[in-house]
Structure formats: structure tokens, C-alpha cells
Structure 1
């Protein structure tokens, strides 16, 4: 059985089982911040979810897990339609692009 995937612009979320890796709760619910536009992919209801990183200082856009603790949470961004995520755990990725000699996170 494949687990659901959700795409929100340059952010990809995949439903996963609860992680067993030690996680560090982040003080915000911003999944990705747009360096170019200043727009952010975020959960605005702070009571609906928690964002965790792997390691005490996770790299932006990498090694993130979202835990939706409410029946659902809404992911928003100024340039995309909101999407509702049901309760559960999600691995969060930010899209990357290849350029000769490197792979880098897509700038929004």
C-alpha cells in the first residue's frame, strides 16, 4: 500500500508512520520560506500541528516532519490554493533542482 503524497508548490509531503529518529520541535509551523518572494508554506493554526527537525539545528527544507494533531490542518501559501491535511505524521521535502556541479533547493 502506498502512502499519500501532497504537493504544495515546491513542497512535497508524504504520510509516514511516526518517526523513530530523535526529533527536535521547531518553534514555528513554516515548512518552507520563500527567499525570493518572502511567501511561506505554513500551517497558521498553531494548535493544529507541530513541526519537527532531525538534529538540534536542521537544515531549512530538509529533515523535517510535520505532525498534524488536530483532525486536520490547512497548509497555506500566498500563491497556491490551501490544502487540508488529515491527522498524522508527514515527511516534508522542498523541491530541489540540478544545475551542473550541484543540486540545490528551489528558491520560491
Structure 2
């Protein structure tokens, strides 16, 4: 299991510790007991236990989210093959930046 102090990456996203949650951030409701940090078209999401953390987004944000971790938790990549190593997250506030890729029409979220 990977640990970090201020910044780490897991597949399609970068997680960075920040000082505060933006005032306009709105909670994103969990599904099946987890918050999905990075959605996969094939169902192999990057998730964290919703009992330990809450995911937030700004209304206009596509590539960024915020995670408030109340108690130590683990971000898991839900894929049985070629999976990313689990990432231990200590209590705190974090910004989640999604990887993006260029296409002729502009940018879009990177997909796995």
C-alpha cells in the first residue's frame, strides 16, 4: 500500500493536500457505500469508503474535485488485473485533479 504526505497519483488522478475546502463546493453522493474519485467506463473505478470520506465538486468543475477525509481510509482501484496500488489517505482535505487528454475538439477526461 502506498502512503504519502502531500501529493500522490493513482492512475487517472493526482491527489494533493490543501488547506481548505472551497466555499461553493457541493457534496457528491456516494453509490454503494463508496465515493467514486475517478469513474471508469468499464466499471473499474477508483473509490474510497464513503463512511470515512466525502467527495465534493464545484458546480462548474469538470477536472477537479475535493475530498474531505474524516478518518484514515484507502483509495482502491476496482480492477482485478493490472490494478494501481492502493493509496492510504490520512484525515485532511485534498484536491483531486483528473487527468485530461487532448482531442481535436479540445480536452476531455482521460479514460482507462
TM-score range, shorter chain: 0.7 to 0.9
1:6 aligns with 2:8: yes
Query: Who is 1:106 aligned against?
Result: 110
| Structure with a larger share of its residues in strand | 1
Q: How does 1:43-62 map to 2 (within 5 A)?
A: 43=48, 45-55=49-59, 59=62, 62=63
Q: How does 1:60-71 map to 2 (within 5 A)?
A: 62-70=63-71
Unaligned runs of 5+ in 2: none
TM-score computed with the length of structure 1 as normaliser:
0.82
SS at match of 1:38: coil
In the TM superposition, residue 51 of structure 1 has moved relative to its aligned partner by 0.5
Q: Number of aligned pairs?
A: 100
Unaligned runs of 5+ in 1: none
Query: Who is 1:74 aligned against?
Result: 74
Using the alignment, how far apart are the partners of 1:69 and 1:98 within structure 2? 35
Assess if the C-alpha contact under 8 Å between 2:37 and 2:45 holds in 1. yes
Q: Which 4+ stretches in 1 moved above 6 angstroms?
A: none
1:18 aligns with 2:20: yes
